[in-house]
Amino acid sequence: MKSVKIKDKEFEVFIESTKIERSIDRISERINADLKDRDPIFVAILNGAFMFAAELMKRVSIPCEITFVRLASYRGTSSTENVKEVLGLNESIEGRTIVVVEDIVDTGNTMETLLGQLSAMKPKEIRIATLLFKPDALKKDIKLDYVAIEIPCDFIVGYGLDYDGYGRNLNDIYKLKS
Ligand code: IMP
Ligand code: MG
């Protein structure tokens, strides 16, 4: 079993890159069929989604645009509230079909915030493509259109996902050793 040490923690290989790529093949075929005449804009969320976005876009063969945004997190007025703001979206998305490209949906808090802010910019529709989804952790009522891989509530790294900034460059997905 392949394993890696990142900072103070040991991780073991969980999903091999060949399986990840097959899953991305599958959703990209659906996207190509569903959005053929819709001229979509893919909005990829940095940093985590960079690798997924690249692999996805290599397989999307319909006319489309891609742009990248970042979510700035900072503390809200109440000390426990974590406010996230979308930065870097310079394109007008009014009237457009948006496909949000995310690395992982865990509780769904991040996605809910993002959907709220994108909706305010009046797109025609918003779809969600995520590499990973932890269905047992979801706390929000969010419909995910294109899920590449569903996983249990383990903490994972690799393929864009990090532990404290490290591990994003791993080509396979690893999970924390228990
Ligand atoms: P949510 O808001 O709880 O859905 O969490 C989403 C964000 O938490 C993702 O965009 C990731 O940045 C991070 N995250 C959630 N689960 C993991 C994980 O297993 N490994 C690394 N990052 C994660
Ligand atoms: Mg993320």
User: Of 176, 145, 136, 167, nearest to 47 (Cα)?
Assistant: 167
| % of the chain with per-residue pLDDT over 90 | 90
Nearest-ligand number for the alpha carbon of 48: 2
Residue 69 is assigned to a structural domain of this protein: yes
Residue 93 is assigned to a structural domain of this protein: yes
Q: State the total domains in the chain.
A: 1
Residue 5 is assigned to a structural domain of this protein: no
Residue 165 is assigned to a structural domain of this protein: no
> The domain containing residue 109 runs over which residues?
17-152
User: Of 45, 37, 19, nearest to 104 (Cα)?
Assistant: 45
Residue 67 is assigned to a structural domain of this protein: yes
Distance CA 41, CA 158 (A): 26
Measuring from atom 15 of ligand 1, which residue has the nearest CA? Answer: 106
Phi/psi for 168 (5° steps) reads -65, -30
Q: Quick one: CA torsion of 8, 130, 74, 142, rounded to 10 degrees? A: -130
Residue 173 is assigned to a structural domain of this protein: no
Pocket test for ligand 1, best of 161, 164, 170, 173 (most atoms within 8 A of CB): 161
Q: What pTM did the predictor assign?
A: 0.95
Measuring from atom 16 of ligand 1, which residue has the nearest CA? Answer: 106
By the 8 A CB rule, do 127 and 100 touch?
A: yes
Atom of ligand 1 nearest to the CA of 134: 16
- CB of 71 within 6 A of ligand 1: the answer is no
CA 70–ligand 2 middle distance (angstroms): 9
Residue 33 is assigned to a structural domain of this protein: yes
Domain CATH for 122: 3.40.50.2020
Check if 106 is active-site: yes
pLDDT in tens, the chain (178 residues): 799 999 999 999 999 999 999 999 999 999 999 999 999 999 999 999 999 999 999 999 999 999 999 998 876 555 555 778 999 998 999 999 999 999 999 999 999 999 999 999 999 999 999 999 999 999 999 999 999 999 999 999 999 999 999 999 999 999 999 8
- CB of 68 within 6 A of ligand 1: the answer is no
- CB of 167 within 6 A of ligand 1: the answer is no
Residue 164 is assigned to a structural domain of this protein: no
Q: Give the active site residue among 25, 39, 103, 106.
A: 106
Distance CA 109, CA 73 (A): 12
